[in-house]
Structure formats: C-alpha cells, structure tokens
A and B are shown apart, each in its own frame.
Chain A
C-alpha cells in the first residue's frame, strides 16, 4: 500500500510556542489530506480536511487560528499548533487519500502519528 510519513514522531515544547508537524505522501499524490487527533483510549477525532491548493475545512469545535493547516502540494500537508498549551498535548495523525470531484472516495493511508507534549 501507499506510504505516508509524519515528522517529527515526537515533539516536546514549552507552553506558548508553536509546533509544525509535516505529513507527506511518499509514493502517490494525495488530493486530500486529513488531520486527526487521538486522545488516550479514544477514537480518532477528525480535525480538518485539506485539499491541495485550497483552504482547509475544519470540523466544528476546532479552532482554525490555533491549528493552521497548509496543503501546499500534492505530497505535503502541514499542521501548525500555534501558541501551544498543555491541553494541546495529544497524538496527531494525518492521512492521505485520493478523491476527485464526484468520483468514489478511495481509502485513506495513515501516517504513524506525532506525539505532542506541551510542558
């Protein structure tokens, strides 16, 4: 299957700083990338959907000014957690998929996740 990488795998930062997480599709072009947050012992919560070249669509309750998403190319999306606070500590997972217009949506390929710890 297709490979999606995330960098960094773990990051520890001080409260108030910003952290950028990269998501790359290594061997395919991803028209759509998704960012999830996974709390301990809970399911993935979709944060936002980003399509290459357009603004991300955020889920209800997700602050777009706090979680900045950029999908600059078909192989790279970034999530920047701005002015991080301890409550932002979580496991962030991206996925990449191909979907086009009205065509059927294909499967998503998941990255390994990034563990963010805000002190």
Chain B
C-alpha cells in the first residue's frame, strides 16, 4: 500500500525567508505526485504536479518541487515566502491499485508566514 509522509507539521517563517517542505512516499511502482494548498477558509487548490519528464517542476505563485526518485521524495520549495503564502500544504500521490487510481494524501504542513 502506498503512503505519504510530511515531516513538518507546522512551520513558521518570516517574510522573504526560503521555504522547503518535505514529502516522502512509499510505493514501488509508477506514481504521479502533487502538491495542494488550502488557504484559510478556502478549498484545496493544485500548486503543481509531476507526471514524468523533468523532475524539477514549477507551479503557481513561485513554488517548485523536485522529484528525486532514489529518495522517494517530492519536496516543495519557494525561495522567498510572502505573508499570503500562509496556508496548509498537502502532498499527494496517485498510483494504480487494483485497477483504479488510488490517491493518498500526506498529513499536511501548516505554514505560517510572519510579516
């Protein structure tokens, strides 16, 4: 069975600081990887996704993530955070299981950016 772990549960940063949120997954086969963001009071939105090709993917709002297959990781990065990035971030993995696509979410990381 696949699983996703996000090691940082709560991160507090000052504006302009750099961000890296960890995401590790366990699954032996081909996976698709996603980062979602949930701003306060809003529903989940896609930040970026990786299916294949260049392991460094760029998403919206200056976020990027790097897929390192050997480490089963898909860490999210942003060089300089803003107060508006305060949100909860979820890593997700999809893989085929029993003939259908199974989606697994990590437990989420709450990011608080201090002005």
Contacts and interface: CB of A to CB of B under 8 A. Distances in A.
Interface of A: 1, 32, 34, 36, 42-46, 49, 51, 57, 93, 95, 97, 99, 104-105, 107-113
Interface residues of B, number: 23
Contacts of A32: 100-101
10 contacts: A32-B101, A43-B108, A44-B44, A44-B105, A46-B102, A97-B101, A108-B103, A109-B46, A110-B36, A113-B43
Contacts of A45: 105
A49 B43 contact: no
Contacts, number: 53
The interface residues of chain B, by DSSP majority, are classed as strand
Interface of B: 32, 34, 36, 42-46, 49, 51-52, 90, 94, 98, 100-108
A99 B46 contact: no
